[in-house]
Chains A and B, each alone.
Chain A
Amino acid sequence: MGTETLIRARDLSVGYPGSVPAVVPDLDLSSGVVWHVTGPNGSGKTALLKTLAGLLRPVAGRLEQGLGRGSRGAVYVHSTPYLFTGSVRRNLSLARPSPQQIESVACTFSLTTLLDRDAVRLSHGEQRRVALARAIACRPQLLLVDEPEGGLDEEALAAWRTCMVRAIDEGDTALVVATHGPVAFEGIPVREIRMLAKQI
């Protein structure tokens, strides 16, 4: 299991333009671990994930990361992911994975029979499975998932956890999840990043 440091954050503050920034504890984000971002509503969990993914600029502090985006980089999955019009297969091809990768990830998330269905007409749970499969098809080094388990049934939850345990065990991926619930991936250590309520 690898423990390569992917991202180093010091004195980091995150937030959206015009809002009160959230202070992030110093962290050295390494692979082989599940990072669990906790904190009350509005404490900046989503802003932190987006900042680590390179979608938001840090408000203050230093963020050292050599990751790109997409394949072998950092990928962020929204709590309400956007699926593009067209088939599930079209959505899974967003980062141009090979056809074999698409089939494999579709099989993992029980999407094989849905591959040619219109993605925007799927149920909420199915759409979340597509979004997770789409992100994992990139084989990211850093996967940041907002509320990963919302809307997933038992089968999808099991697939998601198995998939992540495999990727983390291979030393391939670091997983950062923001959720209020407990995080459990069999055999994988979990470290907590606690966000504090903003001081206004």
Chain B
Amino acid sequence: MFAEIGRALALIVNRDVEVWQITGVSIAVSTAAVIAAVALGLPLTYALARSGPRSTRIGIWAAHSAAALPTVVVGLTLYFALSAAGPLGWTKLLYTRTAMSIGQLVLALPLLVAVVLGALHRLPASASEALITHGVTPPRRMGWLLWEVKSAIASATFLAFSRAFTELGSALIVGGNIRGATRTLTTYVALEYNRGDDARAIALGLILLVVALIANGLMHAFMTEQP
């Protein structure tokens, strides 16, 4: 066991091409998913927050429920949608990194919405009223209020990244674990270790762990900054 860990560390330190290529794919796929989640999630969250306290509470409940979606269910649903006979088969996205990012987007978005919506909900009504009464236009209002919850946004972004980066079910089903294309840290560790290359699997597992811990550490750092 210790010998395998030693070999795994050597692979990382010696910059094994496949190890770092797989790491690069994982980071790229999850980063794209999180960027899309932020771009879609912030306007959506702001619209929910503005739609009244009842809608906000329903939105928070719905986002929390969606955050608990099993990754394999997301992967399977996306697989049926993107497969040749599915309604989105014409896009030919199945077994691509884009499909993997879409799956991770579905998993990351509810987390981001839940955290940011909660933060916006906690702002006093006087914040929004101050903007309205000073004649601030609706697009600028969104900017001012989102800036007020910037720590929550940063925290939610790293939480979403952590969820996307460490998920397996969706990436495996819609990505297919294709070497050099859609193979990520999780799909490799899950499926390839039984080929006997334990050292490589351990190396990838260690990288996965370190990146996830960094993302979680950043999430907590921003969470403690929140008022």
Interface residues of A (CB under 8 A from B): 50, 53-55, 68-71, 73-76, 78, 80-82, 84-86, 94-95, 134-135, 138
B135 and chain A: residue at smallest CB distance: A70
Interface SS of chain B: helix
Contact sample, A vs B, 28 pairs, CB 8 Å cutoff: A54-B132, A55-B129, A55-B132, A55-B133, A69-B132, A69-B134, A70-B133, A70-B134, A70-B135, A73-B135, A74-B133, A75-B135, A78-B129, A81-B126, A81-B130, A82-B124, A82-B127, A82-B129, A82-B130, A84-B127, A84-B147, A84-B148, A86-B147, A94-B131, A94-B136, A94-B144, A95-B134, A138-B134
A86 and chain B: residue at smallest CB distance: B147
Q: How far is the CB of B61 from chain A (nearest CB, A)?
A: 22
Cα–Cα distance between A24 and B135 once the two chains are bound (Å) = 26
In the complex, besides A69-B135, A135-B134, 12 extra interface pairs with C-beta distance below 8 angstroms are A69-B132, A69-B134, A75-B134, A76-B129, A78-B130, A80-B126, A84-B130, A84-B144, A84-B147, A85-B147, A94-B131, A95-B135
Q: Are B148 and A94 in contact (CB under 8 A)?
A: no
Cα–Cα distance between A55 and B135 once the two chains are bound (Å) = 11
B127 and chain A: residue at smallest CB distance: A82
Give the top 4 A-B pairs by smallest Cβ distance, nearest first: A70-B135, A82-B126, A69-B135, A95-B134
Q: How far is the CB of A96 from chain B (nearest CB, A)?
A: 9
Q: How far is the CB of A173 from chain B (nearest CB, A)?
A: 15
- Which of chain A's residues have a CB closer than 8 A to the CB of B124? 82
Cα–Cα distance between A86 and B147 once the two chains are bound (Å) = 10
Cα–Cα distance between A65 and B183 once the two chains are bound (Å) = 65
Cα–Cα distance between A68 and B132 once the two chains are bound (Å) = 10
- Which of chain A's residues have a CB closer than 8 A to the CB of B127? 82, 84
B144 and chain A: residue at smallest CB distance: A84
Cα–Cα distance between A134 and B135 once the two chains are bound (Å) = 12
Q: How far is the CB of A138 from chain B (nearest CB, A)?
A: 6
Q: How far is the CB of B69 from chain A (nearest CB, A)?
A: 34
Cα–Cα distance between A77 and B144 once the two chains are bound (Å) = 18
Q: Are B133 and A76 in contact (CB under 8 A)?
A: yes
- Which of chain A's residues have a CB closer than 8 A to the CB of B134? 69-70, 75, 94-95, 134-135, 138
- Which of chain A's residues have a CB closer than 8 A to the CB of B133? 53-55, 69-70, 74-76
- Which of chain A's residues have a CB closer than 8 A to the CB of B144? 84, 94
- Which of chain B's residues have a CB closer than 8 A to the CB of A135? 134
- Which of chain B's residues have a CB closer than 8 A to the CB of A50? 129
Cα–Cα distance between A85 and B226 once the two chains are bound (Å) = 12
